[in-house]
Structure 1
């Protein structure tokens, strides 16, 4: 049965409209303020929102923009006693489905509701299953603050730094900013700076011209040119080679790029969103990141907390990934057994949302009944115990070597030391490998050996 949310601060009108819709066999929830409506949207699945334009804490356009952050595809109908054509046009441009003038006509309203829901009946709309369906909107205070920050910065042209551990959803936050910006009809380009060498970074970011070097048989567009007019997402910006940081700063300040091998500049109009899982201020202090580039990127900062600090969201996220896995694997698992929920709540989730998604997908694949049980969850999740405090100084003294040298640590303590080091560098695997005195390949082998998601 379709779920409708009615937001109106007039109790009599709210009661009248909800009663009318219930008579038409719709399930209805009501809210008397914008904030109350947003709380319901974050915690429940709705197919349609009908909201008054004049609310005590927000106007309809402001509320509409926040709804589109939580669920970009959720249909919204604005209702008002002020038949303002300009406001109606603005509302439609911002994503409102329709604009009704009070006093509303019951037959007209019912026809609009029916036609809207008919378009959506094959694709249920959910605040967690939005167009940007891999980004999960929780109900914890931390999640609400993230949504608020995204809503504030999205319509601007400010450069943004998104901080957070690996797997927390930084790219999906960046995509949500883009989808709710004035650039949403232009390209969104993403590049992993951690995978770029000094030689490759220049050509990937700025492109090159034919004949610039051996093998340059044709002109190549860089990501700046590909994202012109839109948004460029630079992931793991802290790993960008220092030499390339100089060229990036120039591109941001002058809005010009020069392709490798070219003698002329190319104008570009790109908004840059950068993400990092390391402390850039510490990298500046260590001479690994340019301070002027940091300040140019840091016009606005969003921190995405790790999953272990958002306990109120774990089960909500798990149910979201359950829905995704059901669709992908063509199954119909209805939920989790109570002991499985307890395990999910108490596990530390070092790999954050990425690890949780993989665990749920595997569990759905293995489940033969209707609910997920302990038996289909990974042993490291089921058998998790809070990690004991490790006296690394004692280990160092006993070994006579650096506390982060894996060669001096017994196998019994390897997993704990790897986890500790990953947390210390905010899950930057390149830095973790250096601190542990091993190469990246050995670190990846250890991660697989100990079932560590990072």
Structure 2
């Protein structure tokens, strides 16, 4: 039975949450302050801690740092009535599994807790058997799913090819295509799979603290440095450092990053001591870094360091054979997270999902399916549960395709009439081969 510790100064809310989670099969302890949390942690080990951010004489982010230092396998979820984006980002960067804003439904927090405990089980199993060689199919990170189409097979082939090496990998592709999941799958299929995988969003790091974030700092080295801190390079030592949106780094930090990658040595801010690091770099971008190099915004030497092996993660509209496969996967996840039981898509819903262009790729699909599951009252999902922009987008795409077909049909008939139905001359006029023209005539069932 998983053990959960709730730290919440709202007594009534805390006890209500305890009762709900106990009914759902958890062993739950509660505390109302940082001091009570420390007393619980001194006498017991917990699988998960659910803590309010704002607490008497302290806060949940401070508690998070202590928990991650003393019990790294314990998952931490922070909750607050103050939806502060900066606090959320810092909490995730410091090791929180997730961050949830009040008010929330009991079902919502239950879904987040289940996901956190599921992730913990995967990590624990890896730690118990670090020397056991596991096939790549069994080492999927949470959220990783192989497609069956040609583009997906090519992606998987590249992952399997480069994973056993120590080559730096540059992942390119549109936003939302799953570049971090791909990076994680490379890590889990590598010889470093039992070492840390540290993901860093380069676009979310304020320029003023980027050096500290990457390389760490000593206590007192600058205002606000109240403790010694490891940077991302040290945290990933022995494993893989994933640099997402690497093109967002300032020129100054590109220089620092290049030096660290070349020398495999770093210095914490405020220290003169060099620290040796052994890491593999996987970087990702949705920009054209070559253009950035030509314009002088990105260092060419860093680009070549990062691009020892390049993989383009395809967009969802280029993986149409896999759309329903991914949709089924996100349907199952949404059912778990929302405690629902939507078992299938109606045929009309399937058609809409396949016709829609998915500009936000897999990230958009995940959100669309989750919302639709919430709005589905039956075991079958119908189109009225989907967001209007998805339904309208699919219909618009269909209308555009229909118009193009009509235009092409009329253009072929016009060319045939102009050439007195001489197919060789018509093909020349249309600037296509005779074979293509014959195929189009058959496709549009033209009686000529």
What TM-score do you get using the length of structure 2 for normalisation?
Answer: 0.58
Aligned equivalent of 1:258: 267
Paired residues of 1:203 and 1:260 also in contact (CA < 8 A):
yes
Q: Which has the higher helix share?
A: 2
Measure the CA separation in 2 of the matches of 1:371 and 1:217: 54
Aligned equivalent of 2:330: 321
The C-alpha deviation readout for 1:388-436, integer Å capped at 9, x for no partner, is 79xxxxxxxxxxxxxxxxxxxxxxxxxxxxxxxxxxxxxxxxxxxxxxx
2:143 to 122, 125, 134: 134
Aligned equivalent of 2:31: none
State the 1:94 CA deviation: 1.9
Measure the CA separation in 2 of the matches of 1:242 and 1:199: 13
Measure the CA separation in 2 of the matches of 1:284 and 1:271: 23
Aligned equivalent of 2:208: 199
Aligned equivalent of 2:79: none
Measure the CA separation in 2 of the matches of 1:374 and 1:217: 54
Measure the CA separation in 1 of the matches of 2:217 and 2:209: 11
Aligned equivalent of 1:274: 283
The C-alpha deviation readout for 1:224-256, integer Å capped at 9, x for no partner, is 001100110100000011100101101111100
Paired residues of 2:202 and 2:243 also in contact (CA < 8 A):
yes
Paired residues of 1:198 and 1:243 also in contact (CA < 8 A):
no
Q: Which has the larger radius of gyration?
A: 2
Aligned equivalent of 2:221: 212
Is it true that 1:352 corresponds to 2:391 in the alignment?
no
Aligned equivalent of 1:173: 182
Measure the CA separation in 2 of the matches of 1:382 and 1:209: 54
* Shift in CA distance, 145/325, structure 1 to aligned 2, threshold 3 Å: same
Aligned equivalent of 1:366: 375
State the 1:135 CA deviation: 2.1
Unaligned stretches of 5+ residues in structure 1: 1-72, 74-91, 97-126, 390-454
Aligned equivalent of 2:343: 334
Measure the CA separation in 2 of the matches of 1:236 and 1:363: 30
Aligned equivalent of 1:56: none
Paired residues of 1:283 and 1:289 also in contact (CA < 8 A):
yes
**1:343-422 aligned within 5 A:** 343-384=352-393, 385-386=396-397
Is it true that 1:312 corresponds to 2:351 in the alignment?
no
SS of structure 2 residue aligned to 1:272: strand
Measure the CA separation in 2 of the matches of 1:223 and 1:388: 48
Aligned equivalent of 1:438: none
Question: How much is the aligned-residue C-alpha RMSD, in angstroms?
Answer: 2.0
Aligned equivalent of 1:6: none
The C-alpha deviation readout for 1:177-222, integer Å capped at 9, x for no partner, is 1111111111111110011232211010001112211222221110
Measure the CA separation in 2 of the matches of 1:209 and 1:181: 32
2:132 to 93, 100, 104: 93
Measure the CA separation in 2 of the matches of 1:151 and 1:215: 44
Aligned equivalent of 1:100: none
Measure the CA separation in 2 of the matches of 1:374 and 1:159: 44
State the 1:131 CA deviation: 4.1
State the 1:93 CA deviation: 3.3
Measure the CA separation in 2 of the matches of 1:356 and 1:364: 12
What TM-score do you get using the length of structure 1 for normalisation?
Answer: 0.57
Paired residues of 1:197 and 1:241 also in contact (CA < 8 A):
no
State the 1:334 CA deviation: 1.6
Aligned equivalent of 1:291: 300
* Shift in CA distance, 148/260, structure 1 to aligned 2, threshold 3 Å: same
Measure the CA separation in 2 of the matches of 1:291 and 1:131: 33
Aligned equivalent of 2:196: 187
Unaligned stretches of 5+ residues in structure 2: 1-121, 123-130, 402-448
* Shift in CA distance, 138/382, structure 1 to aligned 2, threshold 3 Å: same
* Shift in CA distance, 130/383, structure 1 to aligned 2, threshold 3 Å: farther
Measure the CA separation in 2 of the matches of 1:388 and 1:368: 33
Aligned equivalent of 1:52: none
Measure the CA separation in 1 of the matches of 2:142 and 2:250: 32
SS of structure 2 residue aligned to 1:274: strand
* Shift in CA distance, 244/334, structure 1 to aligned 2, threshold 3 Å: same
Measure the CA separation in 2 of the matches of 1:225 and 1:369: 50
